[in-house]
Structure 1
Amino acid sequence: MPIPPTSARAGDAPVPQVRVARLVDLDPLTLYGLLRLRVDVFVVEQECAYPELDGVDTEPTTEHLWIEVGGVPVATVRTLVDAGGVHRLGRVATHPEHRGHGYATALVRAGLDRIGPHAVHIGAQTYLERWYEQFGFRRAGEDYLEDGIPHLPMVRPELTPGRGGEPS
């Protein structure tokens, strides 16, 4: 499935429209597009053979967020609440031909909005530490290797009502 260009004319930038659905509500072609995007970025581009289909997508608390261009998903993220009640955000991916348009930023913000004031945990690739800091995430431990790629744990602390949504 070819990925359409971002816009037909130079300078045109489509307004990203974030879509949200649980697995059971996704149509087969959208699900295929989301999974293909993640495999293309995490497995092929990053040359990391690992089981991308990890079972988390099927959890009832998992929500998939994505942005489409020409009806094809070009950026994605997922949110979930794990078995221990921890809110997580992950699998942030943007197709290489669609980077630099703010799609990942829009998706992370939308995901955090959906999670609300709860603390949010991520496993970030280390080179993205500063990027995640713009959303209020802070380092929460030592670097580690995941499938041969350097990562670090990060947490956006719980937001306190009445203090402008600042971390508590």
Structure 2
Amino acid sequence: MTVMPDPQIHIRHALYEDEEALARLDRATWSPLHAVQPRPRPPYEPFFNDRFGPLDHLVAELAELAELAELAGRGDAVVGYVRLGFPTPLECNAHVRQIQGLAVAEEARGAGVARALLRAAQDEARRQGARRITLRVLGHNTPARKLYESEGFVVEGVLPEEFFIDGAYVDDVLMGRSL
């Protein structure tokens, strides 16, 4: 069964003007289910940095929220993002892209935003000439693993008990797929 993307979800490259909205979203969606870093605390680091800028991010907007944000005089209708990068700086690995972050606002969950972002990331990786796309997900993050599997990602390796999070050892699961 093919799931068609929701026409109410608009995916685009991030802009520098999205930085504040993306930083807020990143902080709001922090959870030990997917984060290996401690909860962010002030003073907050910039969302964009030397390693990842706007062109490394695709953002999702929901049409209905975009209209509300515009009416309220805000330009931040961003409800999700995916970060796409290189897994290593090696030239021999340049044919691979890696999803290095995916977040969806609580109010947009269940609307297909994560799936739309995941598909857009694969399209962008293909556009960049990649032959493969990979990601890492924590073993206890069952919802994310099911989403990735439903989009053709397979487990390619497991680093057992790689992280100690919230008093428990957690596997680091490596997933990937051909493009």
Match of 1:132 in 2: 148
The answer as to whether partners of 1:87 and 1:115 remain within 8 angstroms in 2 is yes
After superposition, the C-alpha distances for 1:23-70 in whole angstroms (9 at most, x for unaligned) are: xx422xx11111221121125897861569599853368611111232
Picking from 63, 75, 84, the partner of 2:80 is 75
The answer as to whether partners of 1:144 and 1:152 remain within 8 angstroms in 2 is no
Between the aligned partners of 1:75 and 1:36, the Cα distance in structure 2 is 11
Match of 1:166 in 2: none
The answer as to whether partners of 1:18 and 1:107 remain within 8 angstroms in 2 is yes
Shift of 1:147: 6.1
Q: Kindly tell me: are residues 115 and 98 of structure 1, through their superposed partners in 2, closer, same or farther at Cα, counting changes over 3 Å?
A: same
Structure 1: 5+ residue stretches without partners: 1-12, 160-168
Between the aligned partners of 2:108 and 2:98, the Cα distance in structure 1 is 25
Query: Scaled by the length of structure 2, what TM-score is found?
Result: 0.65
Between the aligned partners of 1:133 and 1:115, the Cα distance in structure 2 is 18
1:65 aligns with 2:58: yes
Shift of 1:94: 0.7
The answer as to whether partners of 1:66 and 1:107 remain within 8 angstroms in 2 is yes
Moved more, 98-107 or 134-143: 134-143
Between the aligned partners of 1:53 and 1:146, the Cα distance in structure 2 is 23
Q: Kindly tell me: are residues 112 and 14 of structure 1, through their superposed partners in 2, closer, same or farther at Cα, counting changes over 3 Å?
A: closer
After superposition, the C-alpha distances for 1:120-142 in whole angstroms (9 at most, x for unaligned) are: 11011331222201222111111
Query: Scaled by the length of structure 1, what TM-score is found?
Result: 0.68
What amino acid is aligned across from residue 119 of structure 1 in structure 2?
R
- Aligned-residue sequence identity (percent) comes to 23
3-state SS of paired residue (2:101): strand
CA RMSD of aligned residues (A): 3.2
Picking from 110, 113, 136, the partner of 1:123 is 136
The answer as to whether partners of 2:12 and 2:58 remain within 8 angstroms in 1 is yes
Between the aligned partners of 1:54 and 1:119, the Cα distance in structure 2 is 29
What amino acid is aligned across from residue 10 of structure 2 in structure 1?
Q
Q: Kindly tell me: are residues 88 and 99 of structure 1, through their superposed partners in 2, closer, same or farther at Cα, counting changes over 3 Å?
A: same
Between the aligned partners of 2:60 and 2:25, the Cα distance in structure 1 is 11
1:92 aligns with 2:102: yes
Between the aligned partners of 2:176 and 2:123, the Cα distance in structure 1 is 15
Between the aligned partners of 2:50 and 2:109, the Cα distance in structure 1 is 27
Shift of 1:92: 0.9
Relative contact order higher in (CA < 8 Å, ≥ 6 apart): 2
Moved more, 50-59 or 116-125: 50-59
Structure 2: 5+ residue stretches without partners: 1-5, 67-75
